Structure 1
């Protein structure tokens, strides 16, 4: 396989629920050399995967030869593949994600059903409560609380260890964000194992774990995650790893979304990668074994790109919409006039409306997604 010299074929793909658009450049960087391919996202009688088929057609045009359909694609001539997809968006809107369960602190079983009790339409008499993503809830007998001297966590501390400072006669430790955390109840590993084994026996393979104050004291979540891995769960979403921020409801919602969507994303990525002869990856310290594999990156909800191996359901929810915002911000916004631009991205399954102005992106950490 020939070594890549940095001027290989560059491919960008927008994979929607109805259509897939592929743009390829032979490495010149000139727009006039671009080739555009548009095809149906689902056409099982002709091909198994639309982005893979689009790449095959682009390579056939660039290389001037017919590449047989179904044959693994040689990636030696490809420099990069960048993709935005609404696979996660549509799976969430259509409720076609993975069957999953939620693991929470005992006493908080209904926290997501109750939510934050906000009423966006305050005069609406027929309120439709959003459905939860999980099928079952398991309550773990554990509990930690935050003490009232967060400003000075060492106030009553006699030990000198920065992580395990404990006042005499009290079970208090310093949290990751420096709060004083009182451990009221440590979970029993045997009890946790029995509860999770029950879930596994019922057919659950994906779980979301969100325990009280897990953002600053993740030890109990880590214990649950370790036991779940030992049992054999294929996907485990720990809230302190996904969203280490204060507030239980947003963390639990994020963990559930990740557990619901990531298995679907991983299945899609696995089938996509299987169509390449040289594999897909990124040459970096993290993935130095990628060798001569083509660099493959996916658009995340924040508008940034991430290596295919690190793409997850939570980060993929607004992958396609974010790509549209980044695209028109770079091509349609004029910083000289500073006139805001309205984006209207209508697909076959979902429609996205956005606004870009002031020459910078505005990031939000919570947003509703409606069908």
Structure 2
């Protein structure tokens, strides 16, 4: 499923059946059912349903403006902004760093400290309560990322904070870094966990709708493609939304590797162009190389990735320069939304004012 079209490929009884339908922006999960109906396949004959999607990818590219809060160790609220202090274009004075997924006003701290050998400063529950009240006062927070120092090794403080938050704010999704990415190096862990929280509402709504349509159609429960190239249970996908980033393109890479092996071509370069993004990935010695150093729309995602997805809207910025995307007209290019410099979401990786550079 992509922002512009939804495609189906079914394999069975020695034949391949394909179908392509327009995606359904109001409820993108309906496009999956439309594709199955367009293929004329009997729902009872479908033994397994693997689903690749671009909902998470497009949410990052288009900056879906999800309202996320971050709870972290005292004095470390700016890790998301500081990053690794490197610049993608050292001498380009017009390039601005990507905006963090969590606004500074929505980052809150608690008094605690874990070190390499365990607890240094006990968790101050009064500061946890203050952070919760501050989040409640904001009023429109949709999800919370909890990222404490050394929690990858000693998660006790994070678990305690998560329990307190869940009890006080049960309606909010909670992403805990020690569960999402229990690895050292704070920036990657904080950024990945923030992305997991940022995507939670949009992707969970999509998966809930898909489950409802699936029940009504009598289809098997779908598995969801993760961007490492494998599939996971739909309920696990709902709890680990960051794994759904580049889910759709990952399927293309895995499929290309399989087709290459059948044709005796072990080294390939894949090209996947969709409505919002274009992805390129190499196949070396019959396999898609995996990495944990991917950056998607300016956001580091430190999860295993085996991937490299028109409809993108052209528009003029404040200076009159041509821009393309990240917003998409989806399946209705004849009637794109009204876009201007004021309404277009900021590109996470702005270029200079010269559009053809």
Tell me, yes or no, whether TM beats 0.5.
yes
Of 24, 28, 45, 1:42 maps to: 24
Aligned residue pair count: 292
**Structure 1 or 2: more helix by fraction:** 2
Of 179, 196, 200, 1:258 maps to: 196
* Structure 2 equivalent of residue 10 of structure 1: none
Q: Secondary structure, in 3 states, of the residue corresponding to 1:62?
A: coil
CA drift of 1:252 comes to 0.1
Structure 1 residues 77 and 199: alpha-carbon distance in aligned structure 2, compared to 1, 3 A threshold:
same
TM-score computed with the length of structure 2 as normaliser: 0.76
Structure 2 contact 225–244 (Cα < 8 Å) conserved: yes
Greater shift, 123-132 or 341-350, is seen at 123-132
Larger radius of gyration: 1
CA drift of 1:22 comes to 1.3
Q: How many Å separate the matches in 2 of 1:125 and 1:56? A: 52
Q: How many Å separate the matches in 1 of 2:261 and 2:85? A: 39
Q: How many Å separate the matches in 1 of 2:9 and 2:108? A: 46
CA drift of 1:337 comes to 5.7
Structure 1 residues 246 and 296: alpha-carbon distance in aligned structure 2, compared to 1, 3 A threshold:
same
Gaps of 5+ in 1: 1-14, 64-74, 147-179, 281-292
Asked whether 1:89 is paired with 2:15, we answer: no
Of 178, 182, 199, 2:135 maps to: 199
Asked whether 1:19 is paired with 2:5, we answer: yes
Asked whether 1:122 is paired with 2:90, we answer: yes
Structure 2 contact 48–220 (Cα < 8 Å) conserved: yes
Structure 1 contact 97–264 (Cα < 8 Å) conserved: no
CA drift of 1:78 comes to 3.0
What aligned pairs does 1:34-113 form with structure 2 within 5 A after superposition? 34-42=16-24, 49-58=30-39, 61-63=40-42, 76-96=44-64, 98-113=66-81
Q: How many Å separate the matches in 1 of 2:234 and 2:132? A: 30
Of 326, 330, 333, 2:258 maps to: 330
Q: Secondary structure, in 3 states, of the residue corresponding to 1:360?
A: coil
Q: Secondary structure, in 3 states, of the residue corresponding to 1:332?
A: helix
Q: How many Å separate the matches in 1 of 2:155 and 2:91? A: 40
Structure 1 residues 233 and 107: alpha-carbon distance in aligned structure 2, compared to 1, 3 A threshold:
farther
* Structure 2 equivalent of residue 212 of structure 1: 149
* Structure 1 equivalent of residue 231 of structure 2: 305
Structure with larger RCO (C-alpha < 8 A, sep 6+): 2
Q: Please give the per-residue CA displacement for 1:302-326, whole angstroms capped at 9, x wherever unaligned.
A: 0001111111321011101111110
Q: Secondary structure, in 3 states, of the residue corresponding to 2:102?
A: coil
Structure 1 residues 16 and 336: alpha-carbon distance in aligned structure 2, compared to 1, 3 A threshold:
closer
Q: Please give the per-residue CA displacement for 1:145-203, whole angstroms capped at 9, x wherever unaligned.
A: 22xxxxxxxxxxxxxxxxxxxxxxxxxxxxxxxxx22x222122243123213313423
* Structure 2 equivalent of residue 320 of structure 1: 248
Q: How many Å separate the matches in 1 of 2:228 and 2:142? A: 28
What aligned pairs does 1:235-254 form with structure 2 within 5 A after superposition? 235-254=173-192
Greater shift, 270-279 or 80-89, is seen at 270-279
Q: How many Å separate the matches in 2 of 1:114 and 1:85? A: 31
- Cα RMSD for the two superposed structures: 2.3
CA drift of 1:122 comes to 2.3
Structure 1 contact 79–295 (Cα < 8 Å) conserved: no
Structure 2 contact 73–109 (Cα < 8 Å) conserved: yes
Structure 1 residues 337 and 274: alpha-carbon distance in aligned structure 2, compared to 1, 3 A threshold:
closer
Asked whether 1:230 is paired with 2:157, we answer: no
Q: How many Å separate the matches in 1 of 2:143 and 2:44? A: 36
Q: How many Å separate the matches in 2 of 1:279 and 1:106? A: 50
Structure 2 contact 29–210 (Cα < 8 Å) conserved: no
Q: How many Å separate the matches in 1 of 2:247 and 2:65? A: 16
Structure 2 contact 29–206 (Cα < 8 Å) conserved: no
Structure 1 contact 105–141 (Cα < 8 Å) conserved: yes
